[in-house]
Amino acid sequence: MEVIKLKLMNCKDYFLKLLSRREYSAYELLWKGQEKGFENEEITTAIDYLQLEGYQSDGRLVATIISSAAGKYGKSVVKRKCIEKGVNAEIFERTWLEQTENEPADELISLKAKVMRKYQIDDFQTIEPKTKAKLWNYLKYRGFNPFEVLEQWQKEVD
C-alpha cells in the first residue's frame, strides 16, 4: 500500500513540476505520465486531483491559446491547435464564445491596419486582382474567412 502511495505521489509531483512551467491539457498529462511509466490508474487519480485543486484546466489552456493567437490567427487555426493538444471541441467552442464576447472587433481592427500597411491598400473597394489574391491567401493561411473579412472591411468604408 505504501509503494502505491509513493508512486502516486511521484506521479502527482511530476505533473506539478510540468504544470509549473506551462499549461498542459489533461490528454497531454496522460500521455506524459504513460511515457514516464506510471500506471493509468495512478495517472487518472493524479489528474483528477490536479483538476479538483485547480492546478490543471483545459478551459484555462484554451483561453491562453486563444489570447496568444488573438490578431494573428483565426478560429480554425486556433481550434486545430487545441485539438492537437487533446482538448475537447466542446470546451474550445464554449471558451471561444466567452473570449469573443469579451473582446469586440479589436482583433479585426488591428489585422486590418496590418494588412493595409503590408499590401499598401488605401481603399478596399478598389484592390488589384493580384493584391487581392495575396490578401486572400494571407487571411486564409491565418484561419480567417477571407470572403467575410473583406466584405466586412468593404462595408465599413460605405
Q: Output DSSP code: residue 144.
A: -
* Contact (Cβ atoms closer than 8 angstroms) between residue 131 and residue 125: no
68-125 tens-digit pLDDT? 887 788 888 999 999 999 999 999 999 988 887 756 566 777 888 888 898 988 888 8
**Tens digits of residue pLDDT in 1-57:** 445 544 445 899 999 999 999 999 999 999 999 999 999 999 999 999 999 999 999
Amino acid at 10: N
The two most distant CA atoms of the chain are separated, in Å, by 75
The DSSP code for 128 is -
Please compute, for residue 9, the number of CA atoms within 13 A of its CA located in the half-sphere on the CB side. Answer: 6
Beta-carbon contacts of residue 118 (< 8 Å; ≥ 6 apart): 138
How far, in Å, CA of 143 to CA of 3, rounded? 49
Q: Cβ of 111: how many Cβ atoms within 10 Å?
A: 21
More confident residue, 42 or 157: 42
Q: Residue 157: which pLDDT band, with cuts at 50, 70 and 90?
A: low
Please, is 44 exposed, middle or buried when counting C-beta atoms within 10 Å of its C-beta (0-12, 13-18, 19+)?
Answer: middle
46 close to 33: Cβ distance less than 8 angstroms: yes
Cα distance from N-terminal residue to C-terminal residue, the chain = 73
- Cell 467575410, residue located: 148
Look up residue 62 and give its three cell numbers: 484554451
